[in-house]
Structure 1
Amino acid sequence: MEHRYLGHSGLRISEVTYGNWLTHGSQVENDVATQCVRAALDAGITSFDTADVYANTVAESVLGEALKGERRESLEIFTKVYWATGPKGPNDSGLSRKHVMESINASLQRLGTDYVDLYQAHRYDTRTPLEETMQAFADVVRQGKALYIGVSEWTAEQITAGAAMAKELGFQLISSQPQYSMLWRVIEDEVVPASREAGVSQIVWSPIAQGVLTGKYLPGQPLPAGSRATDEKGGASTISRFLADETLEAVQQLRPVAESVNLTMSQLAVAWVLQNDNVASAIVGASRPEQVHENVGAVGVRLPDEVMTAIDEALDGVVERDPGLTARNAPQDRPT
């Protein structure tokens, strides 16, 4: 495993982060989830990403239990706040001071730790003044409950404003967690340049496009049984945008490209996002331990220029690049 610095901080995280968005507490049983975490640790992964909303708080509990007994100082644990959890009352979502302060305490209890290394705003809250949110994060850091602060799916303008305010308040905003893959490149034109200027790195989710970039989904063929595309608990809705036959046909053109550099298609996808020097880590999930070991095979790989060109040529016409999608996909009101 190799590690990269996160933003302008001194924190180093593993190039592959293990995430449990659609798996722990939802898609897989707890014993399998624990096996996947053990596989991540065995592979040298030290960074683990979760959120209070995943499986309505259960994912945090499962991850905390799976990491029990590990040396805390050897891990980087990330979680998030924004979406509604629990009974979903009027203050059970958003980035108000009340919700942030209550949520960090609940997350720490579920994770079984005194602090998280990175606490992230899961979305931007248009209903709460940015000053209120950032002051709450500053207090969370000063109380020692989080070491660093990050955001997820914020626009370039929001990242710039948030980083500037964090600096004024005496703490660091060091990370952005956006969707990023060969097929979804909307952060490249605006978010990445703004992040570089602000001293923020990307920790990207869905680098394999919900599994589409593994090549297992074939154009004109039934969806594989037991795959994320058949999961009605959330997986099917998130992957649907990538299942058009035109996209699946283009993805199949990547198979010989991957073979030319002795990588599997999923390894090629993870290696591709890690080529971006503003990306500190790629988040991968797993429903089986062997998936973890496969994805870690992308660590340290540098793709030649001709391979990067071949990827662009194969996917020409099916790549989403519109930077406006970050804002358009964001909630405009608090969830209830």
Structure 2
Amino acid sequence: MEFNKLGNSGLSVSKIAYGNWINHGGKVDEDTANECVKAALDVGITTFDTADVYSETKAEEILGRSLKSIRRESIELCTKVCHPTGNGPNDRGLSRKHILENCNASLRRLQTDYIDVYYAHRFDPTTPLEETMLAFADLVRQGKVLYIGVSEWTSEQITHGAALARELKIPLIASQPQYSMLWRVIETDVISTCQREGLGQVVWSPLAQGVLTGKYLPQQPIPTQSRANSSAGKPFFDKLAHRWMNDNVLTAIQNLKPIAQEIDLSLAQLSVAWVLQNHNVSSAIIGASNPEQVRENAIAARIKLEPEIMQQIDNVLEGLVEYDPSKTG
């Protein structure tokens, strides 16, 4: 495994992070989840990503049990707050009440005393940003949170948040956006804003919800065992990846396979390696439904793609890539 500093901070993160959205408490049983975490540790992954809302809080619980015997200082444990965790009017958003209450709940579920990077899972337009950032600042001062991050914030939102973070003297160091060969909306302005403000990118869905593994074929039914057909994954697949389920995109993805084979990679490895070629990306989050997927995708941390390979990829996907920054979030 290789490591990067996260933004302008002193925190090192593994170039491949292990995320448990959908899988833990949803698509896979707990024994398999434990095996996946063990595989992640075995290949040198130290950065683990979850959220209070994943699998209705069960994902945090399972990850906490999986990591219970690991020396806490040897890993970076990250979680998020914003999405609804209950039915009450205050069980959502980035109010002071929701942030403080849910941080304490996440700490209990994760069986830890502190969170390495605590993300605002989305921007909350219903709460003053000053209230949100002050609540995060108090958690930092209390030692419950070491660093702050944001997920799917626009360039303007990041700029305002970073200004408040400087005023409050707290380390806002990470942006967690969706990023893949097919989804490049952060390249327009989010990345440049984060460079200016000192935030690194910890990207999610580098495989575009599995579409970039090449397992979905043009003019063929969706595989029965795929995320697109699982009870846990289908709602998110339909929301995030349905845009790519057309023959033009799926055919182009099949045309990427010879490029991967040319350099002895699977299409999944090529896709994860692609996002890591962007020097602004500190880490790429992978999920897994079995340990072998963890081991396979972790290889991408060591891959250097030559400029001609990057150009070949762009040529194959020309006209199919989304760049519109208004689709952030």
Counting aligned pairs with the same residue, the percent is: 60
Deviation at 1:271, TM superposition (A): 0.6
Q: Provide the rounded CA distance (Å) in 2 between the counterparts of 1:268 and 1:240.
A: 22
Q: Provide the rounded CA distance (Å) in 1 between the counterparts of 2:299 and 2:208.
A: 18
Residue type matched to 2:83 in 1?
W
Q: Provide the rounded CA distance (Å) in 1 between the counterparts of 2:230 and 2:198.
A: 38
Query: Any conservation in 2 of the 1:219–1:249 contact (CA below 8 Å)?
Result: yes
TM-score for the superposition, normalised by structure 2: 0.98
* Counterpart in the other structure of 1:171: 170
Q: Provide the rounded CA distance (Å) in 1 between the counterparts of 2:264 and 2:66.
A: 33
Q: Provide the rounded CA distance (Å) in 1 between the counterparts of 2:36 and 2:298.
A: 13
* Counterpart in the other structure of 2:25: 25
* Counterpart in the other structure of 2:286: 284
Query: Any conservation in 2 of the 1:52–1:107 contact (CA below 8 Å)?
Result: yes
Residue type matched to 1:318 in 2?
L
TM-score for the superposition, normalised by structure 1: 0.96
* SS at structure 1 position matched to 2:325: coil
Residue type matched to 2:150 in 1?
V
* SS at structure 1 position matched to 2:93: coil
Residue type matched to 2:320 in 1?
V
- Decide which moves more: 153-162 or 234-243: 234-243
| Structure 1 position 263 matched with structure 2 position 265 | yes
| Structure 1 position 160 matched with structure 2 position 159 | yes
Query: For this pair of structures, how many residues does the alignment match?
Result: 326
Q: Deviations over 1:16-71 (max 9, x none)?
A: 00000010001111111111111100110000000000011000000000001100
Query: Any conservation in 1 of the 2:27–2:231 contact (CA below 8 Å)?
Result: no
Deviation at 1:231, TM superposition (A): 2.0
Output aligned runs, 1:2-17, within 5 Å: 2-17=2-17
Q: Deviations over 1:179-216 (max 9, x none)?
A: 00000000001100000000001100000111111111
| Structure 1 position 93 matched with structure 2 position 77 | no
* SS at structure 1 position matched to 2:178: coil
Q: Deviations over 1:112-150 (max 9, x none)?
A: 000010000000000000000000000000000010000
- Decide which moves more: 162-171 or 235-244: 235-244
Q: Provide the rounded CA distance (Å) in 1 between the counterparts of 2:16 and 2:210.
A: 16
Deviation at 1:239, TM superposition (A): 2.5
Output aligned runs, 1:160-309, within 5 Å: 160-233=159-232, 234-237=235-238, 238-309=240-311
Residue type matched to 1:312 in 2?
D
Query: Any conservation in 2 of the 1:228–1:239 contact (CA below 8 Å)?
Result: no
Query: Any conservation in 2 of the 1:228–1:235 contact (CA below 8 Å)?
Result: no
Q: Deviations over 1:282-331 (max 9, x none)?
A: 000000100000001111211000000000001111111111111xxx4x
